[in-house]
Structure 1
Amino acid sequence: MEANTLLKNTVSISQFNKGQAKKIFDEVKQTGMKIVFKNNEPECVLLSPDKYIELMEEIENALDYAMAIERIESDSKIYSLDDIKDEFDVTEKDLDEVEDDEVDFV
């Protein structure tokens, strides 16, 4: 994060004590985040719900990627989707009928 952006996204805890919480929360909704300082030290980070969801999705994607790389680099056999469909007699129509959240690969 650029220094200029970082400075714009900082807020002192004393501003909360001065009754500016609503203003600060409105800014969080607009910018996505604020870093709260107390005694010139970062104390916490306020995130908008959208920014929080975005960050959690990025973490999940990174973990999935790391797991995929680990599996590729291991001695485990890698199966293509076609191999799995053939082995379990699954068609494209079968897959289309399944909701995304119904499938869990371990």
Structure 2
Amino acid sequence: MLDNISISNIMNSLVPISRFNKGEANKIFEELRETGFKIVLKNNSPACILLTPEAYDQMLETIENYRLFIEAEKRMSSATAEDFIAADKAMQELGINDADLEDTDVELE
């Protein structure tokens, strides 16, 4: 929903706060469902951003993924060869063999 943000979309998403005062909240919320976000203007300055719950969840997930990426980058930049363990050694220590993994589905995000 927020994937195609352009200047045109942003301009069409500007909503003067006076529209709320005129009883147009339902219409604004319908528009919000279509666009994913609205920028509410008060005295021609952004006062708040309205987001759909889906757009908000997407934003939070993106922030969390970025935070995890930064953490992984930090760890990798300070890692040494001694910090790593071979997969076969890890499996041996955990008592896992290839047969145990054959019918296992793994989903990576």
TM-score by length of 1: 0.77
Structure 1 residues 28 and 74: alpha-carbon distance in aligned structure 2, compared to 1, 3 A threshold: same
Structure 1 residues 78 and 20: alpha-carbon distance in aligned structure 2, compared to 1, 3 A threshold: farther
Give unmatched runs, 5+ long, in structure 2: none
Q: Which residue of 2 aligns with 1:40?
A: 44
Q: Which residue of 2 aligns with 1:2?
A: 6
Determine if contact 1:11/1:37 at 8 Å carries over to the other structure: yes
TM-score by length of 2: 0.75
Runs of 4+ in 1 over 3 A off after TM superposition: 78-84, 90-93
Deviation, 1:5, is 1.4
Q: Partners in 1 of 2:87 and 2:16 — Cα distance?
A: 53
Selected match of 2:92 from 81, 86, 95: 86
Give unmatched runs, 5+ long, in structure 1: 98-106
CA RMSD of aligned residues (A): 2.7
Q: Which residue of 1 aligns with 2:21?
A: 17
Structure 1 residues 90 and 6: alpha-carbon distance in aligned structure 2, compared to 1, 3 A threshold: same
Count of aligned positions: 99
Q: Which residue of 2 aligns with 1:28?
A: 32
Structure number with larger C-alpha Rg: 2
Q: Deviations over 1:34-82 (max 9, x none)?
A: 0000001000000001111111111111111111111111135134655
